[in-house]
Amino acid sequence: MNKWLMVTALTLLTSACATQQQTASLECGAAGAGIGFVACKLAGGSDATCAAVGGVAALGGGVLCYSLSANLDKRRKELAGHENDLDARLRYIKGVNADAAAYNEGMKKDLVTITQHTDTVVTQIQQKTIDEQALAKERSDLDKKLKNAHDSITAQQDSIDLMRKLQAQKNFQDQQLTQELQRQQVLLAETKQQTAVLASQRARI
């Protein structure tokens, strides 16, 4: 019976992660926290350990539910073959910037939760109330978050490099495109800054 419940819980977690980017952190995080705790308890874990595992599931939601790099790759494929079309370029870069802005906003909110949760984990480490398995999961979750963030940085930089290359071509320079490219660079800087904050939280545990 317990095994059946655990399988059901994992199935629900997977289903929860089918949400859109805008609600990924909230919906997937909330679902992951509750399911993670229940599954842990069914496996015989202590309340302290399972609370930590639930936190890991919640923090993992954003990583499991949305990938900025994958979305930007999709936009790049849509642009393929239309690089010499100014309107297509504008649609592409505006879409990229909208995606990056939403990602940064979501990451900013996630960092508040991550920092608070890491505070709790640090206290548990100091008080020796978290076991090695739960701590390993905490570290693994933050590592996944960091990989996602670094992949997002790479994807944004690749997009900037592409637009710079296209902008360098004669007869295809455009003021609006230049402004969007400048905004793209600002958004990338924001992602890098928030990734540094995330890395500092990982270093704490």
pLDDT of residue 62: 54
- pTM of this prediction? 0.71
Q: Which residue, 66, 75, 99, is CA-closest to 183?
A: 99
Task: Tell me what pLDDT residue 49 has.
Answer: 55
Per-10-residue mean pLDDT of the chain, 205 residues long, equals 48 44 43 47 55 51 66 95 92 96 94 96 97 96 94 96 85 82 97 97 97
Q: How far apart are the first and last CA of the chain?
A: 35
Question: Cβ(200)–Cβ(119) under 8 Å?
Answer: no
DSSP-H helix ranges across 66-174:
68-79, 86-127, 132-167
